Amino acid sequence: MSLRQLLLRFGIAYLLLLLAAGALLAALGVQNNAGVNVAALLGAVMWACVGFAKKNGRYFTRPEKRRAVLGMLAVDLGIQALFSIIVSASQGTLPVAALALALLFIGALHALVIWVFVGLAGRQFARTQPPV
């Protein structure tokens, strides 16, 4: 699996998890919150990274890990920006400065979460491998 396929897998999984969680919470009458977004992010990161490791029989090299984390962050921020623009536009306003500041804050937090869970996925994969 290439890094491009990893990022596509991550983006699709993250988007579907966000939509499914949002629909489920709306059906239950519960307001969506940041915890749901982070849970969807964690699930998508772990699933994509473990899938990469299983398909390739190895985990990321150091340069691949850096590109994977930055790529996942870019996909994440793209999805966050899209949802933010849709919500803002539906309310008749588009506060660009506030959206940019929110994306900067979310990006910093999500970068840390992605980096930590890419590492955890690597350790998870390493535990499943027979000792050499």
Judge contact between 71 and 14, C-beta under 8 A.
no
pTM over 0.85: yes
In order along its 132 residues, the chain shows pLDDT tens digits of: 999 999 999 999 999 999 998 888 888 888 777 788 899 999 999 999 999 999 999 999 999 999 999 999 999 999 999 988 888 878 877 788 888 898 999 999 999 999 999 999 999 999 988 876
Report how far apart, in Å, the C-alpha atoms of 110 and of each of 34, 38, 83, 107, 127 are: 11, 8, 16, 5, 25
